[in-house]
Amino acid sequence: MILRKMAWALVLAYSLLMVSCSDDDSIKAPSEITTAFENNKLELPIGEIVKLSPSFEAEGEPEYLWELDGKTVSTEAAYDFESSQTGQFKLTFEVSNKSGAQRVDYAVRVYGPYSSGVFIVNEGWFGHEPGNVNFWDRQSDDIQHKVYEKENPDKQLGVTTQYACINDSKLFLVSKDPDNLVVVNSETLKELGRVSLEKGNSQARGFAYHDATSGFLSSSDGIYEVDLSQYALGNKIDGVSGEVGNLTVLNGKLFALKAKELIVIDIASSKIEKVFTLANNAGGLVKDKDDNIWVAARTQLLKVKSTDLSSELLDLNNGIDINSSYGWAWNSGSLTYSKTNNTLYFMQKGGWSGIRQVSSYNIDTKAAKEVCTIDSDYMIYGAGTYVDPVSNKLYVTAIKGYGQAANFNRLYVYDLDGTQEKVLDYEHFYFAALCVVNE
């Protein structure tokens, strides 16, 4: 009797097991996931919420998982994404059941209010106001005034803000005097940190980004390393003294421009590799698409290969004379570069009545020519010229004159052939230093 009961129990258990296995076999793995976004890419402004509800079919009791850059953020079927930070994010959704799993990756780009447009960095009204930054929104054609102060109401830039560059989503603003280097998020303009030279020793000039933790600050007395992880001033580079202006980093080398010298420094050893002597005062420093360095020196252009430091000195024709950035007051120089047509642009040296002409040098054809001339009642001011690598337009900053006339500003917009597309007028004693954009 006992054996018969045990046999029936075994038969019943086996039957239940077979039914359970049969149920599991009937549950299909989740279907492929689709989203409402092309290539699963989405862009949204900072602070905006987007509801993500991917489409799929899943039987049984599915489980859900959302991961943001590898960290779990939700276990629901839908997710409301929001970010208080700009940048690129990887958002992963997974649905699974007993028979399998499916995943999809979203590429999310969160942008700030200043992501698409042109920063006009201003020296500031000396003796009255510190440096400041305006922003031209290309979509609305509106010039927003003093946007740095707007986003940082309890802070200000130093005196005579003369240089700026953008790297790693950071805008580096260099002023000659106190608070020499101010670093802000290039899309929100919220300040991240600042670095100052020792008081009374020198004025700041330019800056070059090396990597996420380091850069270089030039001054009226040499070059200093900058710790970007701590926003602290580092060591002064040995062997370099006197006024140094433009800096750029390329192929493990720091290229530093003085009035009549281009100094090449090996970054790893902080040792000077080579010095190029210029016959005339320099007027700017840029690098081209082939990793060559170009220096403007009045009626000549110096070309240096960053790989082996071989060089070529080119004489300009057609009476072209590039305005120098070293005079009674340094600026970053008018030399600017277009990757689109492999051409250098710069402003011609002018007389006491002001500079109005912009010329170019085509690297491929080795031909120099006049590109455009602004209105006779205005004069080019600051670095003066800038090629926007995003819009492929040439910008020229100008004022009506000195004294009360400096209250009237213009931003000229040309195509790369010199055809004028628009003129933007705005007022205040800004004294534009240069333009820069997020790429």
CATH number at residue 257: 2.130.10.10
Task: Check residue 74 and give its pLDDT.
Answer: 98
Same domain for 104 and 157, yes or no, is no
For the chain, what is the domain count?
2
Together in a domain, 269 and 224: yes
Domain end, chosen from 94, 111, 128, is at 111
pLDDT number for residue 83: 96
Residue 63 covered by a domain: yes
Q: Over its length of 439 residues, how does the chain's per-residue pLDDT go in tens digits?
A: 544 544 444 444 444 444 444 455 689 999 999 999 999 999 999 999 999 999 999 999 999 999 999 999 999 999 999 999 999 999 999 999 999 999 999 999 999 999 999 999 999 999 999 999 999 999 899 999 999 999 999 999 999 999 999 999 999 999 999 999 999 999 999 999 999 998 776 899 999 999 999 999 999 999 999 999 999 999 999 999 999 999 999 999 999 999 999 999 999 999 999 999 999 999 999 999 999 999 999 999 999 999 999 999 999 988 899 999 998 789 999 999 999 999 999 999 987 679 999 999 999 999 999 999 999 999 999 999 999 999 999 999 999 999 999 999 999 999 999 999 999 999 999 999 999 999 9
Provide the pLDDT for residue 22.
Answer: 46
Give residue 351's pLDDT.
72
Query: What residues make up the domain containing 89?
Result: 38-111
- pTM of the predicted model, to two decimals? 0.91
Same domain, 107 and 142: no
Hey, what are 103's tokens?
A: 């995943």
- Is 147 found in the same domain as 98? no
Give the closest residue to 170 by CA, choosing from 147, 154, 150, 193: 193
Q: For residue 12, is it within any domain?
A: no
Pair 104, 220 in one domain: no
HSE, CB side, 13 Å, CA atoms: give it for residue 343.
25
Instruction: Say whether both 176 and 317 belong to one domain.
Output: yes
Confidence at residue 6, expressed as pLDDT on a 0 to 100 scale: 47
* Residues 71 and 178 both lie in one domain: no
Asked whether 156 and 124 are in contact (CB, 8 A), the reply is no
- Are residues 131 and 45 both part of a single domain? no
Q: Which of 76, 111, 146 is the last residue before a domain boundary?
A: 111
Do residue 291 and residue 413 come from a single domain?
yes
Of the three residues 78, 111, 144, the one that is the final residue of a domain is: 111
What pLDDT does 21 receive?
Answer: 47
Are 358 and 322 in contact by the 8 Å Cβ rule? The answer is no
Beta strands 432-436 and 118-122 are antiparallel
- Listing DSSP states for 373-406 in one string gives E--TT-EEEEEEEEEETTTTEEEEEEES-SGGGG
Indicate whether 308 belongs to any domain: yes
Question: Is 369 exposed, middle or buried, given 0-12, 13-18 or 19+ CB atoms closer than 10 A?
Answer: middle
Report the distance separating Cα 181 and Cα 231, nearest Å.
9
SS3 of residue 3 by DSSP? helix
Q: Which two tokens stand for residue 206?
A: 């330019």
Are 145 and 426 within 8 A, CB to CB?
A: yes
Q: How far is CA 365 from CA 276, 298, 362, in A?
A: 25, 20, 6
